[in-house]
């Protein structure tokens, strides 16, 4: 009964190496023990001593040896091998721990991720492929399991960075008596089908993007402010110093098509708005005396455009006198307004104001 109470841990690494351990200090305090094993069956068993011991404070606490068959028998004895302290017979195939997945590949299509690996050479039916993932916003891992050696999952956000890890598991109790899984494959980081060194890179890239966008917005805001100030300055400049139109560009057809003939140009221009008004200059009338001297003097003072009107009038002393009244006819001046200019038109000349 005491021999059956000894607890051992048995691991068959991918059916290649065996590791058997026991609690040496609790089970055999102060005593070192020896270990032997055999994969032979029947009466003619060949026992082999442990090639590599595992130590716990200089005491033998385990053995590491090569897997040579499906049936294993082990024996723990005292240090000189004269007394057997523990023995056990087992099926090594029921304690297999698979190796890590090899050549893991990721296929990211829209919101679906498919992960696969190479198939092991043996016992593929006893294996399950497990995928775990989480985003930087998740605290716990999400797990999905499928047949070896591919698993797919939907609902991934392409804007998030995800951590992925995979492993292989042995089926219990059909293939294993112990629930052994392989070690996790190295963790990888993906975002929208792009492999990253870590999700911290995603955070850094987002922070850099925020900085760049902030700088661009600041520059655009400064340009907008400068444009507003420029527009206001132009308005202020126009209100303080209004622009004077240049007649060279306004009256181009006057000089090119009519050779400066203003009267011909203004008659043929449909777009000119002409406002005319007559200014009459009142000239005082001069009464001519009968004497020739005064008549000559008055005639010299009058211009070529004046006309003499004669009228007879009796004086108070009933002395007949002939009086001629000479009045200067009003001169016709025309003012034309065009394109912001005022043009004074006389019979002989044009004056642009």
Strands 162-170 and 112-116: unpaired
- What is the layout of strands, in order, in the sheet containing 105-109? 105-109, 112-116, 150-153
3-state class percentages of the chain: helix first, strand second, coil last, to nearest 5: 20, 35, 40
Contacts 24+ apart (CB under 8 A), 301-305: 302/326, 302/328, 303/328, 305/329, 305/331
Best-predicted range by mean pLDDT (8-17, 26-35, 199-208, 222-231): 8-17
Which of 140, 152, 160, 77 has the alpha carbon at shortest distance from 107? 152
Question: H/E element holding 236?
Answer: helix 199-240
**Residues β-bridged to residue 36:** 49, 75
Q: Poorest-confidence range of 32-46, 206-220, 308-322?
A: 308-322
Best-predicted range by mean pLDDT (5-14, 97-106, 195-204, 242-251): 97-106
DSSP 8-state assignment for residue 192: T
- Report whether pLDDT(75) > 60: yes
Indicate yes or no: pTM above 0.85. no
- Tens of pLDDT, residue by residue over 147-191, are 998 999 988 988 889 999 999 999 998 899 999 999 999 999 988
Exposed/middle/buried for 20, CB within 10 Å: 0-12, 13-18, 19+?
buried
- Whether a cis peptide bond, with omega within 30° of 0, leads into 173 is yes
Q: Report the distance separating Cα 23 and Cα 331, nearest Å.
A: 139
Residue 323 three-state SS: strand
Q: Poorest-confidence range of 6-15, 185-194, 242-251, 331-340?
A: 331-340
Exposed/middle/buried for 164, CB within 10 Å: 0-12, 13-18, 19+?
buried
Find out whether 97 and 131 touch, Cβ atoms under 8 Å: no
Find out whether 304 and 349 touch, Cβ atoms under 8 Å: no
- Structure-block tokens of residue 287: 């009464």
Higher pLDDT, 228 or 239: 228
The 3-class secondary structure across 270-290, one letter per residue, is CCCCCCCCEECCCCCCEEECC
Residues shown for the chain: 353
Q: Report the distance separating Cα 147 and Cα 276, nearest Å.
A: 104
Question: Could you give the percent of the chain with pLDDT greater than 90?
Answer: 34
- Report whether pLDDT(277) > 50: no
**Residues β-bridged to residue 165:** 132
- Report whether pLDDT(331) > 70: no
Higher pLDDT, 293 or 178: 178
Higher pLDDT, 234 or 340: 234
- Report whether pLDDT(309) > 50: no
CA angle, corner 306, sides to 303 and 307, nearest 5? 145
**Residues β-bridged to residue 26:** none
- Structure-block tokens of residue 134: 């989480």
- Report whether pLDDT(287) > 50: no
Most distant CA pair in the chain: distance in Å? 192
Domains along the chain? 8-96 (2.60.40.10), 99-196 (2.60.40.10)
Q: What is the pLDDT of residue 293?
A: 53
Find out whether 167 and 130 touch, Cβ atoms under 8 Å: yes
Sequential DSSP letters for 117-131: -PPPSS-GGGEEEEE
Q: Poorest-confidence range of 22-26, 223-227, 325-329, 339-343?
A: 325-329
What φ, ψ does residue 105 adopt, rounded to 5°? -125, 150
């Amino acid at each position: 009964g005491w021999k059956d109470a000894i607890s051992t841990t048995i691991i068959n690494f991918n059916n290649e190496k065996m590791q058997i351990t026991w609690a040496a200090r609790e089970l055999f305090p102060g005593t070192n023990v020896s270990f032997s094993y055999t994969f032979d069956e029947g009466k003619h068993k060949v026992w082999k001593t442990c090639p590599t011991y595992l130590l716990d404070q200089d005491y033998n606490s385990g053995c590491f040896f090569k897997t040579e068959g499906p049936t294993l028998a082990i024996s723990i004895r005292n240090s000189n091998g004269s007394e057997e302290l523990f023995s056990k017979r087992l099926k090594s195939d029921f304690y297999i721990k698979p190796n890590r997945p090899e050549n893991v590949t990721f296929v990211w299509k829209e919101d679906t991720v498919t992960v696969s690996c190479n198939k092991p050479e043996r016992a593929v039916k006893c294996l399950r492929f497990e995928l775990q993932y989480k985003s930087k916003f998740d605290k716990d891992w999400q797990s999905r399991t499928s047949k070896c050696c591919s698993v797919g999952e939907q609902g991934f956000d392409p804007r998030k960075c995800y951590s992925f890890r995979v492993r292989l598991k042995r089926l219990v109790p059909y293939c294993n008596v112990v629930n052994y899984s392989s070690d996790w494959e190295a963790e990888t980081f993906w975002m929208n089908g792009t492999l990253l060194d870590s999700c911290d890179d995603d955070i850094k890239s987002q922070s850099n993007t925020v900085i760049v966008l902030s700088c661009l917005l600041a520059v655009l805001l400064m340009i907008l402010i400068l444009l507003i100030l420029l527009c206001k300055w132009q308005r202020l400049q126009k209100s303080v110093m209004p622009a004077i139109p240049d007649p060279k560009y306004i009256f181009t057809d006057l000089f090119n098509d009519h050779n400066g003939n203003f009267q011909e140009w203004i008659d043929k221009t449909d777009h000119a708005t002409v406002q005319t008004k007559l200014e009459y200059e009142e000239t005082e009338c001069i009464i001519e005396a009968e004497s020739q001297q005064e008549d000559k003097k008055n005639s010299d003072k009058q211009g070529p455009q004046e006309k003499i009107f004669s009228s007879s009038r009796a004086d108070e002393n009933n002395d007949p006198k002939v009086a001629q009244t000479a009045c200067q006819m009003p001169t016709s001046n025309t003012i034309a307004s065009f394109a912001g200019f005022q043009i004074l038109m006389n019979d002989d000349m044009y004056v642009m104001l």
